[in-house]
């Protein structure tokens, strides 16, 4: 089956308006290309949107996760825990700091880190004196992880929390926006084109603690400060306008990226609302099909970065591979999210073996992400659903 008429439908894509283009062009005509006035404006706008005190814009969410770990003091000898059902960056950030990483299995219904597994693992880690320094829940597909539960465990066991909200700008849960930091130390957003809003490449780390934000700013720019009170043994007769006081990086965002981000942010709610309309159409049809959707907790509002379904052969008589190939042949570029991180060859070489997180592995053998992006038309959604029904032969 081939659509003939329409080009390949991707699983996600950016939504760029003329206003977005104009915002970038305006910066290109200005005096600033790298970090200039648009960067702090974008930081303040995202912080205000999410309800956080401060935000640090960087050139990717990967960089944001790295400086978040550094600011929380992650280093050699420490362990960081995250979900296996995520992009590799959620785990790599710990390794960048010389720490080790471990994984907490997922919940079979929400596909987020399982609170039960987290509690169990914390109990036994406390027994052996190997508690994590930081736990990184991932708001998979845009659905916030159960943060009040994570928060309770954090108080009991004394770890710090970074929310990997790369999927979840515009989402909310338990009466607060993702990013407000009510239940965590730092929240990270991604502005990769496939995410909810984009700056090309880009990311941001939000925090309510001014010291944490300051430390992240320093790591963003080579470990350099221009605050006199932080400078050390400055010779009185020399002009020192900055000092490098620790080892940092060049993770800065350019001003034209920030201008694009600011312009995109104006349409964030509109994007998320459209994603909800699409999710409703999928939900409605999928109820009568032998596939499994992501359970949405009643206390949350997802940003629907992804719309994952599970194809269980014992339910529908079709394998994940059969449905995947059928949809591909129908010009629907479905995707899988995710291969459990520890099953990547690099992580296998670190000593993780198959079967480590059984639920995440089972999920990976069943999952397919249907197309989900604000520019997807109702007609395209119906086309996807028709193709899916044919794939399942119902």
Ligand X SMILES: *Cc1c(COP(=O)(O)O)cnc(C)c1O
Output the six-digit token pair for 58: 């960087």
Q: Which is nearer to ligand X, 161 or 392 (CB)?
A: 161
Edge-to-edge strands of the sheet including 300-301?
176-177, 172-173, 300-301
Q: Which helix (H) or strand (E) holds 160?
A: strand 160-164
**Taking CB under 6 A as the rule, which mask of x and - marks residues 118-157 in contact with ligand X?**
--------------------x-------------------
**Taking CB under 6 A as the rule, which mask of x and - marks residues 31-60 in contact with ligand X?**
-----------------------------x
- Minimum gap (Å) between residue 43 Cβ and ligand X: 16
- Minimum gap (Å) between residue 16 Cβ and ligand X: 17
Task: Quickly tell me which residue has 């960089």 as its tokens.
Answer: 63
- Minimum gap (Å) between residue 238 Cβ and ligand X: 39
Measured CA to CA, the distance from residue 170 to residue 158 in angstroms comes to 29
Q: Which residues lie across from 368 on neighbouring strands?
A: 309
Q: Establish if 263 lies at the interface with ligand X (CB under 6 A).
A: no
Q: Establish if 87 lies at the interface with ligand X (CB under 6 A).
A: yes
Q: Establish if 180 lies at the interface with ligand X (CB under 6 A).
A: no
Q: Which of 90, 114, 187, 218 binds ligand X (CB under 6 A)?
A: 90
Q: Which is nearer to ligand X, 89 or 118 (CB)?
A: 89
Q: Establish if 186 lies at the interface with ligand X (CB under 6 A).
A: no
- Minimum gap (Å) between residue 167 Cβ and ligand X: 6
Q: Which is nearer to ligand X, 169 or 391 (CB)?
A: 169
**How long, in residues, is the chain?**
394
Q: Establish if 166 lies at the interface with ligand X (CB under 6 A).
A: yes
- Minimum gap (Å) between residue 339 Cβ and ligand X: 13
Q: Which is nearer to ligand X, 189 or 326 (CB)?
A: 189
Instruction: Decide: 347 and 340 in contact? Cβ < 8 Å.
Output: no
Measured CA to CA, the distance from residue 342 to residue 357 in angstroms comes to 9
Measured CA to CA, the distance from residue 227 to residue 385 in angstroms comes to 57
Task: Quickly tell me which residue has 């000898």 as its tokens.
Answer: 77
Q: Establish if 61 lies at the interface with ligand X (CB under 6 A).
A: yes
Q: Establish if 89 lies at the interface with ligand X (CB under 6 A).
A: yes
Cis peptide bond prior to 338, omega within 30° of 0 = yes
Q: Which is nearer to ligand X, 160 or 190 (CB)?
A: 190
Q: Which of 20, 78, 164, 185 binds ligand X (CB under 6 A)?
A: 164
- Minimum gap (Å) between residue 220 Cβ and ligand X: 14
Report helix, strand or coil for 83: coil
Q: Which of 42, 46, 56, 62 binds ligand X (CB under 6 A)?
A: 62
Instruction: Decide: 16 and 266 in contact? Cβ < 8 Å.
Output: no
Alpha helices in the chain (DSSP H): 18-28, 38-50, 61-71, 89-96, 115-127, 147-157, 210-220, 255-265, 268-286, 313-316, 320-329, 345-349, 358-366, 378-392
Report helix, strand or coil for 173: strand
> Integer distance in angstroms from the first to the last C-alpha of the chain?
16
Q: Which of 167, 275, 301, 310 binds ligand X (CB under 6 A)?
A: 167
**Taking CB under 6 A as the rule, which mask of x and - marks residues 195-214 in contact with ligand X?**
--------x-----------
- The residue ranges that bind ligand X (CB under 6 A) are 60-62, 86-87, 89-90, 138, 164, 166-167, 190, 192, 203
């Amino acid at each position: 089956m081939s659509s003939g008429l329409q080009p390949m439908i991707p699983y996600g894509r950016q939504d760029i308006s003329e206003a977005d283009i104009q915002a970038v062009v305006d910066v290109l005509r200005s005096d600033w290309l790298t970090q200039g006035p648009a960067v702090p404006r974008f930081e303040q706008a995202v912080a205000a949107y999410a309800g956080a005190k401060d935000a640090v814009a960087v050139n990717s969410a990967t960089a944001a996760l790295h400086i978040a770990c550094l600011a929380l003091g992650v280093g050699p000898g420490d362990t960081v825990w995250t979900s296996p059902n995520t992009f590799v960056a959620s785990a790599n950030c710990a390794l960048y700091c010389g720490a080790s990483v471990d994984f907490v299995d997922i919940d079979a219904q929400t596909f987020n880190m399982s609170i039960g597994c987290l509690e169990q693992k914390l109990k036994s880690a406390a027994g052996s004196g190997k508690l994590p320094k930081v736990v990184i829940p991932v708001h998979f597909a845009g659905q916030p992880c159960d943060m009040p539960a994570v928060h309770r465990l954090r108080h009991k066991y004394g770890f710090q929390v970074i929310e990997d909200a790369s999927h979840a700008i515009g989402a909310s849960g338990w009466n607060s926006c993702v990013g407000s930091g009510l239940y965590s130390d730092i929240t990270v957003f991604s502005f990769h084109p496939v995410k909810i809003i984009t700056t090309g490449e880009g990311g941001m780390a939000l925090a309510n603690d001014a010291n944490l934000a300051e430390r992240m700013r320093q790591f963003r720019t080579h470990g350099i400060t221009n605050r006199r009170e932080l400078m050390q043994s400055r010779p009185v007769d020399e002009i020192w306008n900055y000092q490098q006081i620790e080892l940092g990086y060049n993770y800065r965002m350019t001003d034209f990226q920030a201008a694009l981000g600011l312009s995109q942010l104006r349409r964030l709610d509109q994007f998320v609302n459209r994603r909800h309309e699409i999710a409703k159409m999928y939900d409605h049809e999928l109820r009568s099909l032998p596939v499994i959707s992501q359970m949405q907790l009643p206390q949350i509002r997802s940003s629907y970065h992804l719309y994952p379904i599970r194809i269980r052969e014992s339910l529908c008589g079709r394998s994940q591979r059969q449905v995947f190939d059928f949809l591909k042949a129908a010009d629907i570029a479905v995707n899988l999210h995710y291969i459990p991180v520890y099953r990547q060859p690099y992580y296998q070489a670190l000593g993780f073996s198959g079967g480590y997180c059984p639920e995440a592995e089972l999920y990976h053998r069943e999952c397919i992400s249907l197309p989900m992006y604000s520019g997807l038309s109702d007609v395209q959604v119906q086309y996807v659903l028709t193709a899916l029904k044919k794939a399942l032969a119902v």
